[in-house]
């Protein structure tokens, strides 16, 4: 028993090593199906060549690693003398669960595809049913059923460019473990066994890796792994820095939004006694000639007026507050008038020849509040 446990441990270690050399397989990878047939005869008390009985079977299996696999096999055994034996053409059927061990890959390693020739061990247990008379079925605990065991070697040849097909020759020993009745327990008795020689053909289904077999995993050396880890850490640091920058920009946006809201909530300034035909005006920030989103409401009102009065024309007058030099304020007032005209033309589709502009430099005469003199106003110039 101790030797058996040690053997199982050695197999498990080999399976682990083998699994590290090949790419990971998915649930339905590495399945195969095959048929087999051959001859069998009782091992003892029997003239082998005079009492050969044919059999045929089906095997379906899966390789879990290049070394280990499992298969389910069903065989029907036929009588060569049905009239003189148990009265039926099919003498018995046996269904087995088999474990497979590829000795070639175990001891020689897996090279990325199967070898042209391999030796594979099969071993497992099955359930046998005998057909025929009661006297013949009595051999199997009186019911014609019983536990069996099979041990064999497959001498396999892998064919084709993809090694998808395999033919094999399999000698095996098969034991009737309940031949003396189930109540007597399981016994490996050479006198209750038969020798079998079968030949088979197997087709291995295509896998998710694009081949019909296992493929070798691409391994990387430690220096390459360290280099990749360093790049990952650099990317993490860069990402952290960008997160910090993004948070700062979000705070700036929030502050600007607060300032804009405060500006929009201020009461509309009352103009001094400077005549203007059209009341809406566009207010700018200090030193800027960019239209804030809230100021488009005034421009929209002028556009609506011009669309309602097809012959109307307007003059856009730009101003600056007194801060700064005269030259800068003159230029700023012109830019403010021109940007308002551009909005009317591009955004509201008003004809450019209906709009004139002028820059009037700095003033503190339009509004009581100094900041509201950074403005563009409208005058109807229709004749």
Q: Residue 113 sits in a domain of what CATH number? A: 2.40.160.20
Contact 303, 344 (CB under 8 A): yes
The reply to whether 195 and 255 lie within a common domain is no
| pLDDT band at residue 8 using 50, 70 and 90 as cut-offs | low
Residue 273, in any domain of the structure? no
| pLDDT band at residue 140 using 50, 70 and 90 as cut-offs | very low
The reply to whether 318 and 343 lie within a common domain is yes
The reply to whether 238 and 170 lie within a common domain is no
Q: What is the pLDDT of residue 132?
A: 67
| pLDDT band at residue 134 using 50, 70 and 90 as cut-offs | low
Beta carbons within 8 Å of 61's beta carbon, 6+ residues apart: 31, 32, 69, 70, 71, 72, 98, 100
The reply to whether 82 and 197 lie within a common domain is yes
Measured CA distances, 285 to 139, 259, 367, 376 (Å): 107, 11, 15, 12
The reply to whether 326 and 245 lie within a common domain is no
The reply to whether 292 and 317 lie within a common domain is yes
The reply to whether 41 and 184 lie within a common domain is yes
Q: Across all residues in the chain, what is the average pLDDT?
A: 82
- The rounded distance, in Å, linking the Cα atoms of 102 and 191 is 29
- Judged against a pLDDT cut of 90, whether residue 157 lies above it is answered with yes
- The rounded distance, in Å, linking the Cα atoms of 50 and 80 is 10
Q: What is the CATH number of the domain that holds 365?
A: 3.30.1330.60
Between 288 and 120, the higher pLDDT residue: 120
Final residue of a structural domain among 160, 176, 204? 204
Best-predicted range by mean pLDDT (45-49, 88-92, 155-159): 155-159
Residue 211, in any domain of the structure? no
- The rounded distance, in Å, linking the Cα atoms of 191 and 46 is 10
Q: What is the pLDDT of residues 196-211, one digit of tens each?
A: 999 999 999 999 888 9
Residue 212, in any domain of the structure? no
Helix axes 326-346, 296-308, angle to 10 degrees: 50
Question: What is the DSSP secondary structure assignment for residue 169, as one 8-state letter?
Answer: E
Contact 107, 128 (CB under 8 A): no
The reply to whether 95 and 233 lie within a common domain is no
Between 287 and 165, the higher pLDDT residue: 165
Nearest CA-CA partner of 78 in 29, 116, 40: 40
Q: What is the pLDDT of residue 141?
A: 42
Q: Domain limits at 369?
A: 278-380
Q: What is the pLDDT of residue 56?
A: 96
The reply to whether 68 and 166 lie within a common domain is yes
Final residue of a structural domain among 175, 204, 233? 204
Q: What is the pLDDT of residues 265-277, one digit of tens each?
A: 766 554 443 334 5
| pLDDT band at residue 278 using 50, 70 and 90 as cut-offs | low
The reply to whether 154 and 79 lie within a common domain is yes
Nearest CA-CA partner of 62 in 95, 87, 97: 97
Question: What is the DSSP secondary structure assignment for residue 324, as one 8-state letter?
Answer: S
- The domain total for the chain is 3
The reply to whether 9 and 33 lie within a common domain is yes
Between 46 and 160, the higher pLDDT residue: 160
The reply to whether 364 and 241 lie within a common domain is no
Residue 226, in any domain of the structure? yes
- Judged against a pLDDT cut of 60, whether residue 138 lies above it is answered with no
């Amino acid at each position: 028993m101790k030797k058996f446990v040690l053997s199982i441990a050695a197999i498990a270690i080999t399976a682990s090593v083998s699994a590290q050399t090949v790419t990971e397989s998915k649930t339905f990878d590495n399945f195969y199906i095959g048929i087999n047939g051959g001859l069998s005869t009782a091992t003892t008390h029997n003239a082998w060549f005079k009492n050969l009985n044919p059999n045929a079977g089906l095997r379906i299996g899966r390789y879990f690693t290049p070394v280990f696999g499992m298969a389910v096999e069903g065989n029907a055994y036929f009588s060569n003398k049905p009239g003189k034996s148990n009265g039926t053409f099919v003498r018995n059927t046996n269904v087995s669960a088999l474990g497979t061990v590829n000795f070639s890959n175990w001891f020689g390693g897996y090279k990325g595809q199967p070898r042209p020739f391999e030796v594979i061990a099969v071993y497992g247990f099955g359930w046998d049913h005998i057909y025929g008379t009661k006297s013949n079925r009595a051999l199997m605990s009186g019911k014609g059923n019983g536990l069996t065991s099979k041990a064999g070697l497959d001498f396999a040849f892998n064919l084709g460019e993809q090694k998808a097909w395999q033919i094999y020759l399999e000698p095996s020993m098969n034991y009737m473990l309940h031949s003396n009745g189930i109540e007597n327990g399981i016994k490996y008795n050479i006198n209750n066994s038969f020798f079998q020689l079968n030949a088979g053909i197997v087709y291995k289904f295509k896998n998710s890796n694009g081949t019909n077999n296992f493929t070798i995993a691409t391994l990387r050396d430690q220096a390459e792994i360290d280099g990749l880890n360093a790049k990952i850490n650099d990317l993490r640091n860069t990402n952290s820095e960008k997160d910090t920058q993004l948070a700062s920009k979000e705070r700036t946006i929030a502050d600007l939004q607060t300032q804009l809201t405060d500006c929009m909530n201020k009461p509309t300034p009352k103009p001094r006694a400077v005549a203007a035909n059209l009341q809406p005006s566009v207010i700018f920030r200090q030193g800027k000639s960019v239209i804030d989103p809230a100021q488009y409401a005034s421009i929209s009102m002028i556009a609506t007026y011009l669309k309602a009065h097809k012959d109307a024309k307007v003059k856009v007058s730009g101003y600056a507050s007194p801060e700064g030099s005269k030259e800068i304020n003159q230029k700023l007032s012109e830019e403010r008038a021109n940007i308002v005209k551009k909005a009317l033309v591009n955004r509201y589709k008003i004809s450019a020849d209906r709009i004139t502009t002028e820059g009037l430099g700095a003033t503190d005469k339009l509004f009581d509040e100094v900041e509201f003199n950074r403005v563009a106003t409208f005058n109807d110039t229709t004749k």
